[in-house]
């Protein structure tokens, strides 16, 4: 039970956006707030640390893709178990990140890359209740990333610009909420929580 003594609904919330948009911070803040309000919440992310290590050692785009797919298949089991227990699952990145970042790369290698990615991800996916797209200008995101000690291989201006364009296309679909991530963290958090409350109550 939560602070309102109401039954809790299982719910799967996913945070998406280019690197530097604030996904990790905001998803953790929402997870923490849900706990404060008495909800049984779990925070998770993709890729896992194990998959991230494989991705860093990958020799080809295919190695990267299959590391993500194996990780996602294992993740599916954990997410389903948490939801069966009635938890609110808050996830930093999910399948749309594969479309956004790897889709443009794979388009150069195989025809109809996005359709192919959708087909292979279908059996290892869990239905999402809400996607939160944190929209931010690529240059602003890069400025934020410059403050980090370590960058990922995907964090280049060209790749992130392409990913942002793909995210904006996906965010027009039902089930997505776009939030201007150039606002203050507090403003973004409050806008997201206003929607989250409507989902979990």
Residue pLDDT, tens place only, 50-78: 999 998 888 888 999 999 999 999 999 99
pLDDT at 177: 98
Instruction: Compute the Cα dihedral for 106, 127, 21, 174 and give only its sign.
Output: positive
The token pair that represents 94 in the structure block: 């999910």
Q: To which H or E segment does residue 123 belong?
A: none
CB 14 within 8 A of CB 132: yes
CB 94 within 8 A of CB 156: no
Helices marked H in the chain: 23-36, 49-56, 61-84, 95-107, 113-121, 138-145, 157-170, 185-200
Mean pLDDT of the chain: 91
Q: How far apart are CA 6 and CA 77, in angstroms?
A: 27
Mean pLDDT of 5-9: 69
Could you read off the pLDDT of 16-52 as tens digits, one per residue? Answer: 999 999 999 999 999 999 999 999 999 999 999 999 9
How many CA atoms are closer than 13 Å to the CA of 93, on its beta-carbon side? Answer: 21
pLDDT at 58: 87
pLDDT at 6: 62
Buried b (16+ CB within 10 A) or exposed e, 67-84: bbbbbbeebeeebeebbe
Report domain extents, the chain.
Answer: 11-200
Q: How far apart are CA 106 and CA 112, in angstroms?
A: 9
Could you read off the pLDDT of 124-160 as tens digits, one per residue? Answer: 999 999 999 999 999 999 999 887 756 565 668 888 9
Q: What are phi and psi of 130, to 5 degrees?
A: -155, 135
CATH fold, domain 11-200, is Rossmann fold (3.40.50)
Q: How far apart are CA 141 and CA 23, in angstroms?
A: 11
- SS3 per-residue string spanning 33-90: HHHHCCCCEEEEECCCHHHHHHHHCCCCHHHHHHHHHHHHHHHHHHHHHHHHCCCEEE
CB 39 within 8 A of CB 86: no
Share of the chain above pLDDT 70, in %: 93
Instruction: Using alpha carbons, list the distances in angstroms from residue 76 to 65, 83, 171.
Output: 16, 11, 22
């Amino acid at each position: 039970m939560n602070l309102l003594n109401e039954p809790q609904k299982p719910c799967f919330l996913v945070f998406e956006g280019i690197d530097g948009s604030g996904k990790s911070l905001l998803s953790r803040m929402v997870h923490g707030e849900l706990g404060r309000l008495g909800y049984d919440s779990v925070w998770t992310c993709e890729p896992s640390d194990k998959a991230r290590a494989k991705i860093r050692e990958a020799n080809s785009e295919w190695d990267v893709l299959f590391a993500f797919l194996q990780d996602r298949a294992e993740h599916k089991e954990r997410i389903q178990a948490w939801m069966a227990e009635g938890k609110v699952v808050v996830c930093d990145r999910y399948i749309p990140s594969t479309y956004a970042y790897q889709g443009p790369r794979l388009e150069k290698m195989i025809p109809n890359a996005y359709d192919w990615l959708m087909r292979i991800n279908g059996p290892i996916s869990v239905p999402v209740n809400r996607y939160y797209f944190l929209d931010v200008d690529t240059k602003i995101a890069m400025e934020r990333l410059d403050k980090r000690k370590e960058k990922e291989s995907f964090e280049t201006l060209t790749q992130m610009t392409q990913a942002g364009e793909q995210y904006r296309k996906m965010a027009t679909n039902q089930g997505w909420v776009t939030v201007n991530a150039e606002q203050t963290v507090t403003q973004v958090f409050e806008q997201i929580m206003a929607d989250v409350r409507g989902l979990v109550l």
